[in-house]
Structure 1
Amino acid sequence: MSGDTAYTALCREIPDLPIFLEPWYLDALAPGWKVATVEKGGKTVAAWPYFPKRKGPVSFVTMPVLVRFMGPVFHPEFDHEKQWYKLIPELWVQIKGYLVFRQDAPYSLTNWLPLYWLGFFQYTRYSYTIDLRQGREAIWAHVAGDYRQQKIPKAREAVTVESSDDLEAFIQVHDQTFRHQSLPSPVSRDTISRLDAAAAARGQRRILLARDRQSGQVHAGLYLLINDHSVYMLMAGSDPALRTSGASILLTWEAIEWALTLPGVRTFDFLGSMIEPIERVRRQFGARQVPFFRISYLRWKWLALLFRGKI
């Protein structure tokens, strides 16, 4: 069985696999991605997808744009620490050799000690999620009072929320967020279009736009991803000139309410952030802080001086 085929078969067995690790997603956003696998008893029990790149003479592994998690995953029968200690080294021996290696591991990897023994180091990062099994009333009760009583009702008076296939409208409002700060968009139009073509064809994305009730102008937009167990808030944007309307806050609440209607979906995942003002908004929705590991490996430790702040 080839690595890609073995990995696809394993993915079908993992009930909470992040959408970012699904083969179709990697095909869309990480051309040339590779995967190491381990088989036991004729079945694939562990895999480690990764995205190799080369810049001049330097070969390295990094995170593709819009792929939020990559790292080792395991068949449910082997997904416990005793097996991690055995399987992670078996996977790593197939990968090592790159000058620099960096990934953001999925939430499921809660113990990085096997990686430490292999020479990795890590930074703990944080995301925010909401457990949708609480139900609407409990989730609403945990939303900050000024959001419930002032900002969301005020936004409803100013804008309407629509589910849309207007990708161009979303890209424009997404890019406005960065232009306002004199920054280039971190995601190219081509990358978003490639993702959207793949996700829309599978029915695994939703675009929400907040339009002005009077002018129809877009105040804010959200780009959501969906799989069997989670809704992911992948991208967001707002018009800086219209930010006081509270449309972004309303869109987020509308996205949570919509996620509550999806059978089997248990988690609303904000996918971060470590940026203080954004983190504050996540907490205002009652989201739970979830740690994950940014794991890095340098073939030679002195490379840390060259890559300080870049890995």
Structure 2
Amino acid sequence: MENLDKIKTFISESEQGTIFTTPEWLEAVAPGKWDYITNESAGSIKACMPIILNEKLGLTICNMPPFTQSLGIMYPAYEGKYAEVLTRKMNALSEIIPVIPKNSYFRQRLHPSITNWLPFYWQEYNQLTRYTYIIKDLANQDKIWKSFRSNIRQEIRKASKTIKIFQEDDFESLSFCIDSTFARQRNKNFDFSTLKNIFDSCKKLKNGKIFLAKNENGICGAIYLVWDKKSAYYIAGGSPIDVRTTGAMPLLLWEAIKFSSKVTKHFNFEGSMIKPIERFFRAFGGEQVPYFEITKINSKIISFAKNFKI
């Protein structure tokens, strides 16, 4: 791909650039099906957007890949008056939307720093607001601890008496814990193949880690964490059905938060729109942060299927 090094530099300097927008991540979650579209002027990138295209049943789908919180538009570090910066961003986005490859269905989630989707609206795209929770200051662990809900602190104290946390490259144990959780929820659609691709890629780049919780009876929980220079992200986790009340998950997340303070600035729970999961993440005291999901249906077949929930 031409100018890939230039794009990688742009990603590292953009506020919206994350581990999710890097070539390594995109290749892990969508092998051979990704690209970047850019808006350039005088040799400088004014805007950049990762694009993933899949062909299915004669339809071209531009969708969000698994385990990926956000893609969307990325801007350079503009400086100047607010109105001037906003105008430059709107112009850049307005110019990049028309060059999005022709597709039957488009869905991307934007970085939480993007608060303006008007150029998408003017081009008849739709928007859904989603939420995540982010601990934005990892420097003061005492402050973070005090921001936890009291029951979370109690569970962590109790669990720490019988459970030890280990950092191991044990994908099999992680898979076992996740599989146990999804089996409990009667959900068999977890994408272990893509998660393994991510694990292998991040292991090579040294920006991913598995945390395992163990007691005298064996493994009682596991989570997977990835990070870039801006934030750490909770990707997946679970616990065996017979030990789900041990407090392993709160303890695992607390250890992951403490670890993250050594490698990055923020901790992103990656939120959830599922009520019990949202309630659990909320208890860790992170700031509730909205972000936009942008969609557009360009196919009568897909529109019909969605309207009638086929």
Could you say if the C-alpha distance between residues 53 and 151 of structure 1 is closer, same or farther in structure 2, counting changes exceeding 3 Å?
Answer: same
Q: Number of matched residues? A: 304
**Partner residue, 1:198:** 201
Indicate if the aligned counterparts of 1:35 and 1:48 stay in contact, CA closer than 8 A: yes
1:285 to 2:288 alignment: no
Amino acid in structure 1 at the alignment position of 2:17: L
Tell me, yes or no, if the aligned pair for 2:16 and 2:73 is still in contact at 8 Å.
Answer: no
Structure 2 letter corresponding to 1:36: I
Partner of 1:36: 37
Secondary structure, aligned partner of 2:243: helix
Give the match for residue 155 of structure 1: 159
Distance 1:118 1:64, change over 3 A: same
Structure 2 match to 1:106: 111
Answer with 28-37 or 285-294: which moved more.
Answer: 28-37
8 Å Cα contact 2:12-2:18 kept in structure 1 = no
Task: Give the Cα separation in 1 of the matches to 2:53 and 2:103.
Answer: 8
Match of 2:201, as an amino acid? Answer: A
TM-score, scaled relative to structure 2: 0.92
Q: Give the secondary-structure state (helix, strand or coil) at the position aligned to 2:258.
A: helix
Alpha-carbon distance, 1:278 to partner: 1.0
- Where 1:93 maps in the other structure, the secondary structure is helix
The code of the aligned residue for 1:29 comes to V
2 CA distance for matches of 1:99 and 1:16?
A: 26
Measure how far apart 1:246 and its partner are: 0.7
Q: Which runs of 5+ in 1 are unaligned?
A: none
Q: Which residue type is aligned with residue 181 of structure 1? A: Q
Give, in whole Å, the separation in 1 of the partners of 2:308 and 2:129. 14
From 194, 210, 214, give the equivalent of 1:211: 214
Structure 2 unaligned blocks of 5 or more: none
1:68 and 1:206 map into 2 onto residues whose CA distance is 18
Q: Give the 3 Å change call, closer, same or farther, for CA 309–224 of structure 1 in structure 2.
A: farther
Per the alignment, residue 76 of structure 2 pairs with 75
1:147 alignment partner, SS class = helix
Aligned-pair Cα RMSD in Å: 2.1
Letter in 1 for 2:8: T
Q: Distance in 2 between matches of 1:195 and 1:205?
A: 9
- Residue in 1 that maps onto 2:11: 11
- Sequence identity percentage: 30
* 1:58 and 2:59 aligned: yes
Per the TM alignment, residue 287 of structure 1 is displaced from its structure 2 partner at its CA by 1.1
Task: Tell me if structure 1 keeps the 8 A contact 2:11–2:18.
Answer: no
Q: Which residue of 2 aligns with 1:275?
A: 274
Within 2, Cα distance between the matches of 1:17 and 1:6? 13
Partners of 1:59 and 1:17 lie apart in 2 by: 26
Tell me, yes or no, if structure 1 residue 21 matches structure 2 residue 24. no
Q: Output one character per residue of 1:142-193: Cα deviation in whole Å (capped at 9) or x when no partner.
A: 1111222x211111122111111111111111111111122104212x2122
Opposite residue 2 of structure 2, the aligned amino acid is S
Structure 1 residues 244-269: Cα deviation after superposition (integer angstroms, max 9, x where no partner): 1110011111111111233xx22100
Mean Cα deviation higher: 199-208 or 78-87: 78-87
Residue 175 of structure 2: aligned partner: 171
The CA distance in 1 between the partners of 2:308 and 2:147, in whole Å, is: 36
Moved over 4 A (4+): 300-303
Q: Does the 8 A contact of 2:16 with 2:74 survive in 1? A: no
Match of 1:245 in 2: 246
Match of 2:184 in 1: 180
Deviation at 1:80, TM superposition (A): 3.7
Q: Is the 8 A contact 1:231 1:269 kept in 2?
A: yes
1:115 is the counterpart of 2:134:
no
State the TM-score, normalizing by the size of structure 1. 0.92
Please report how far the alpha carbon of residue 132 of structure 1 lies from its aligned counterpart in structure 2 after TM superposition: 2.2
